[in-house]
């Protein structure tokens, strides 16, 4: 299995500045290294909530703080690291096999997710002990 440091990367999307407001563009294979087959977002998240709490066997995801900010804790079963997201032109690419927890939401946070496949419950590992066994 890959080490935690090789399991995620920050991606900076183009930022086109304009006095009327900025625009960022995300294109598959140009900015995101996979086919984008699913897009979803979470919002109206209470500040004390936690999202995530799972890993994926095969799915790649890019998380973007479209609005507000939040922390993403990444875990490979041995090592943990925390990534703070607060810019809509920065995405966090999480590769398969990594446990993720999302918390510390600011008011008005929107977590925007680009996924490499459609929803498949069989791809999820939702129990941390099972995740650690999977990582062995």
- Residues annotated catalytic, as ranges: 54
C-alpha pair distances (Å), 96 with each of 1, 11, 89: 10, 17, 22
**C-alpha–C-alpha distance, residues 29 and 87, integer Å:** 21
């Amino acid at each position: 299995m890959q080490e935690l440091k090789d399991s995620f990367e920050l991606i900076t999307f183009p930022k086109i500045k304009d006095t009327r407001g900025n625009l960022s563009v995300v294109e598959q294979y140009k900015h995101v290294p996979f086919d984008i087959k699913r897009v979803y977002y979470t919002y109206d998240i209470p500040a004390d909530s936690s999202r995530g709490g799972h890993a994926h066997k095969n799915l790649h995801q890019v998380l973007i703080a479209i609005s507000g900010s939040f922390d993403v804790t990444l875990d490979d079963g041995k090592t943990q690291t925390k990534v703070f997201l607060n810019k809509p032109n920065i995405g966090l690419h999480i590769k398969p096999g990594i446990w993720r927890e999302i918390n510390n939401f600011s008011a008005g946070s929107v977590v925007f997710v680009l996924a490499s496949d459609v929803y498949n419950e069989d791809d999820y590992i939702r129990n941390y002990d099972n995740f650690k066994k999977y990582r062995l």
